[in-house]
């Protein structure tokens, strides 16, 4: 009888998170988690009068919609581009509602075959609104089916092949396509040029976010004072979706550890526990800055070296961490790599290396 042996312990394997996984673990990313979709829909404005921010965009949209309604025509095709979480889907819904229609919602990644798009286009009625989120992720073949549909309101289908090939032109009703993208540079020129109305959505101010927080708190029946709303707004990274998420986290803390009312002190403590500081930076943001500031003496340093030091994926750092740090001026990109700015040293309460300080004086 052979002696029983104990198998060796399994080796631990480090799992590198992709951008979507990393975003799901962070509270201050603008991507919407699946469980937030239903709640986010209930907090969205029901009319342009309730919409906060993007004043120039909303005003121009109202004029275009009113003019189209007076002429009895469909609205021109609309393209929204800008960072995620700023209200592109909300604006598309409001446009459809103002035109007296219910929007047909889909996204670029789900339209992987031409028949998927053709089925949607041929089922549209006159004046309907089709919204395609992440339109930059449409496949090339699918995108080409959109060209005649947007311009001539028809779909060209080729049957058979070779000498027997025939093109059938199927008419579609006049509709309005609303596209949304976070990466306008990835849109092909032919597709981009077919949109009559193109608007860029920018980050919101603290005052606008404070209005959004107070409105959302009222809809969720959360007691909140002005200073509590302002505290949440300042840490929301200019993004309404993040503001609503932080509001829900502060509500949980207020109900369990306070009297249920959100004040400045309650919001400060709740967000401190979540690792969100006064500028809206979380632990990964600060680790990114400290790596450059401390280990690489302020930079420049390549993104691969930073990723290796943090044991993070480079795509995660480029897509999830860097954009906001670039926006607030804590990081700059140069031909030789990433560099932190004096603002980052000040925020981290770190002393600048002598050579970095001397370089800044020369600049």
Q: Which two tokens stand for residue 342?
A: 């004096």
Residues classed as catalytic = 88-89, 133, 182, 241
Beta-strand relationship, 197-200 and 331-334: unpaired
DSSP category for residue 184: G
- Mapped onto helix, strand or coil, the DSSP state of residue 288 is helix
Q: How far apart are CA 19 and CA 182, in angstroms?
A: 15
Cis status, amide bond into 145, omega within 30 of 0:
no
Q: How far apart are CA 299 and CA 361, in angstroms?
A: 16
Could you tell me how far CA 291 lies from the centroid of its own chain? 26
- Rounded to whole angstroms, what are the CA distances from 205 to 36, 40, 60, 228, 234? 23, 20, 20, 16, 9
Write out the DSSP string of 302-323: -HHHHHHHHT--HHHIIIIIHH
Q: Which two tokens stand for residue 232?
A: 């949440």
- Determine how many CB atoms are found less than 10 A away from the CB of residue 6: 5
Let me know the angle formed at the C-alpha of 187 by 186 and 192, rounded to the nearest 5 degrees.
Answer: 155
């Amino acid at each position: 009888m052979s002696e029983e042996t104990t198998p060796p312990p399994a080796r631990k394997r480090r799992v590198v998170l992709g951008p979507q996984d990393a975003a799901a673990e962070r509270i201050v990313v603008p991507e919407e988690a699946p469980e937030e979709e239903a709640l986010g829909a209930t907090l969205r404005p029901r009319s342009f009068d309730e919409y906060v921010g993007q004043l120039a965009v909303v005003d121009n949209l109202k004029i275009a919609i009113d003019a189209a309604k007076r002429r009895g025509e469909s609205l021109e095709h609309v393209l929204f581009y800008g960072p995620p979480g700023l209200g592109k889907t909300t604006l598309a819904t409001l446009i459809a509602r103002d035109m007296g229609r219910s929007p047909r919602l889909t996204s670029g990644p789900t339209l992987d075959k031409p028949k998927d798009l053709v089925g949607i286009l041929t089922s549209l009625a006159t004046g309907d609104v089709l919204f395609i989120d992440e339109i930059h992720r449409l496949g090339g073949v699918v995108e080409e089916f959109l060209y005649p549909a947007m311009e001539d309101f028809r779909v060209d289908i080729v049957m058979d092949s070779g000498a027997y090939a025939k093109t059938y032109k199927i008419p579609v009703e006049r509709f309005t396509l609303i596209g949304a993208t976070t990466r306008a540079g990835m849109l092909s020129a032919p597709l981009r040029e077919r949109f009559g109305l193109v608007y860029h959505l920018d980050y919101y101010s603290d005052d606008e976010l404070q209005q959004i927080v107070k409105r959302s708190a009222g809809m969720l029946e959360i007691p909140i004072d002005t200073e509590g709303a302002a505290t949440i707004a300042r840490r929301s990274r200019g993004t309404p979706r993040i503001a609503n998420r932080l509001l829900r986290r502060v509500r949980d803390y207020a109900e369990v550890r306070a009297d249920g009312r959100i004040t400045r002190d309650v919001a400060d403590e709740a967000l401190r526990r979540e690792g969100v500081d006064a500028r809206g930076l979380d632990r990964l943001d600060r680790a990114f800055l400290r790596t450059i500031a401390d280990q690489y003496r302020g930079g420049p340093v390549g993104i691969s070296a930073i990723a290796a030091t943090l044991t993070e994926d480079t795509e995660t750092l480029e897509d999830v961490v860097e954009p906001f740090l670039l926006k607030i001026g804590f990081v700059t990109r140069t031909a030789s790599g990433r560099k932190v700015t004096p603002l980052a040293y000040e925020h981290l309460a770190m002393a600048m290396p002598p050579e970095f300080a001397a370089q800044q004086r020369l600049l």
